[in-house]
Structure 1
Amino acid sequence: MQHTFSIKTFFKKIIPYIWGYAYLCELIKYLFSNFLPFKWYMRLPIKPGKLINANFSFGTVILSSPERCSIAKKLYWTEGIIFPEEDRIALEYFVKLTKISDFVLDIGSNSGIFSLASGLANKNVKVFAYDILPEAFHILVDNIFINNLSAQITPNLIGIGKKSLYKAPFEKITSEMPTSIKLDENFKNVVSVNVEIKTLDEIFLENNITGQACIKIDVEGFEGDIFKNALDVLKNNKPFFLCEVLNTNLEVSDYDNILSSNNYKKFLITDSGLIEYKNIKAHEKFKDWFFIPNEKLDEVKSFLKVG
């Protein structure tokens, strides 16, 4: 095991810095992307320092640090195309909702692709991005400035859920930055910092969020804590939600009932559009859902393709 780890570490930390490696990656992408399995070549490390385009129907944003950020790394190999299709649909539809919103909250923002896309598409929207991983926060800040969106996007090293403190790893914990970490994960023998976890009700009050809000939630199964501590927001503000629902989450029925009691409709995002369900059911393949207030459904159905 130690031998395998050493080879992997050598490859990721040494090989990308060798002269000509960037040209080799471009050659692999050009010659073999149509023949090799995608999951094979996307495992290859990227030469540090490259800036990666993420292309949308409404424009392009730039992501930094593909050597650490798996989102930027994946987009390097796909030539900036969001993949798979259900992920592209989720992001494009989310941005359509931000165009009729005053505020965007990106909860579990990671390197900020949803925040950046929202700021690009709607120059009047105010974006608040939240993550509990310091490394992700630093990359997020870089991406905000690279895309000239510092006037619109406010980055926060804060978690949203049940009020508490989380000891977040301050140093690199893996060879590649995790796309997310769980609030119940413990990292031993690493330098950590205290990250505050606030409730969504608190966040709305502190930031005076009174207009239409559009919220993305990607918190690795802890979304129940967000909804349970957002009863005032659900009742009075009626935001749009894009939420990741994992099939390992055993508390789905709890927040499903909370959403139903606040008159929300639920739509699973598939690779061919949206499917409405009365109740949230974790899907083996598709993980993202839209939760839309019933009274606002007519307003958004014109641009959300519902099957």
Structure 2
Amino acid sequence: MKNFIRYLLQKTLSFKNYLFLFSLYSIRTIEAGKYEREFLHFIKIIKGDGLILDVGANIGITAAPLAKHHPHAQVHAFEPISENFSTLQRIVNYLKIKNIKLFNIALGSEDGTLKMIMPIRGNSRMQGLSKAYEEGAGEKGTIYDVPLKKLDHIYPFETNISAMKIDVENFELEVLRGSVALLKRNKPMIYCELWDNENRTSVFELLKNIGYQSFTFNNETGSLQPVALREGLPAGNFFFIHS
């Protein structure tokens, strides 16, 4: 049913107008405190006025609240998919957000080009599930070839990065592998979505070796609690804080 309604809205409004209105609605829902309590907690505990990186900024649903809640910080938002990026630009202009810089690229463990896909489910385009394309997976969708960069090459000397939000649909390990020097130098707090697979295990190991401790958000207490990687641990959002 959701896919059918989404399809009707995309067809009626046009895809670009649907993305813009959906982004505005989601941003206002987050700011009203009715959605994404984990993310709101992340915003709340970011310290100082350093640089905040939004990796996988999509259509601005997280980038806008980050910039608005930290007006003295600078937000750098990375989004490789052209339609998503256009919506991100439109949102920033519409909301008159000044402390944000946009990058129309993907991030990974090397510089080059990345093939990506925006999946189609039930005839509707799923912009929030855009991801690295897997040959032979047989997934239906729009294919893109996008520029790929390492964060270590974008910020070779930066020492004022205070926080990173990463949501790149199971490409998080590659992003972090391309950010090791940055992480060691800046020690930013990381808010990261991870699937339940081998990549997640590798992310935990990589960050532990750099000196990070891992946490999840407890909805009942409204605070962070330490987490140990174990069998049966569900997919979700994790906080990584340098010890």
- State TM-score, norm by structure 2: 0.79
Equivalent position of 1:229 in the other structure: 178
Please list, as runs of the form range in 1=range in 2, the aligned pairs for 1:124-273 lying within 5 A after superposition. Answer: 124-149=72-97, 151-163=98-110, 164-168=112-116, 175-185=124-134, 193-205=144-156, 209-247=158-196, 249-272=197-220, 273=223
5+ residue gaps, structure 2: none
Q: Over aligned residues, Cα RMSD in angstroms?
A: 3.6
Residue by residue over 1:66-111, the C-alpha shift from the partner in whole angstroms, topping out at 9 and shown as x without a partner, is x236953874996974555xx22x2222222445241011001111
Aligned mate of 2:225, from 275, 278, 299: 275
**What residue identity is the alignment partner of 2:176?**
F
Equivalent position of 1:104 in the other structure: 52
1:213 Cα deviation after fit: 2.2
CA distance in 2, matches of 1:76, 1:124: 20
1:68 maps onto 2:10 in alignment: no
Greater strand share, structure number: 2
**What residue identity is the alignment partner of 2:70?**
N
Ranked by relative contact order (alpha carbons within 8 Å, sequence separation 6 or more), the top structure is 2
Do 2:43 and 2:69's aligned partners in 1 also have CA atoms closer than 8 Å? yes
CA distance in 2, matches of 1:165, 1:204: 19
- State TM-score, norm by structure 1: 0.64
CA distance in 2, matches of 1:77, 1:96: 17
Equivalent position of 1:298 in the other structure: none
Kindly tell me: are residues 76 and 95 of structure 1, through their superposed partners in 2, closer, same or farther at Cα, counting changes over 3 Å? closer
Do 2:57 and 2:63's aligned partners in 1 also have CA atoms closer than 8 Å? yes
CA distance in 1, matches of 2:178, 2:61: 26
Residue by residue over 1:220-273, the C-alpha shift from the partner in whole angstroms, topping out at 9 and shown as x without a partner, is 1111112222221121111110000112x3222222111111111110123223
Q: How many residue pairs end up in the alignment?
A: 234
CA distance in 2, matches of 1:241, 1:157: 21
Residue by residue over 1:44-86, the C-alpha shift from the partner in whole angstroms, topping out at 9 and shown as x without a partner, is xxxx49xxxxxxxxxxxxxx94x236953874996974555xx
1:184 Cα deviation after fit: 2.5
Kindly tell me: are residues 100 and 69 of structure 1, through their superposed partners in 2, closer, same or farther at Cα, counting changes over 3 Å? same
Please list, as runs of the form range in 1=range in 2, the aligned pairs for 1:267-306 lying within 5 A after superposition. Answer: 267-272=215-220, 273-279=223-229, 283-284=233-234, 287-294=236-243
Work out the percentage of aligned pairs sharing the same amino acid: 22
CA distance in 1, matches of 2:91, 2:50: 22
Residue by residue over 1:6-28, the C-alpha shift from the partner in whole angstroms, topping out at 9 and shown as x without a partner, is x87984466x5xxxxxxxxxxxx
**What residue identity is the alignment partner of 1:153?**
I
5+ residue gaps, structure 1: 17-47, 50-63, 295-307
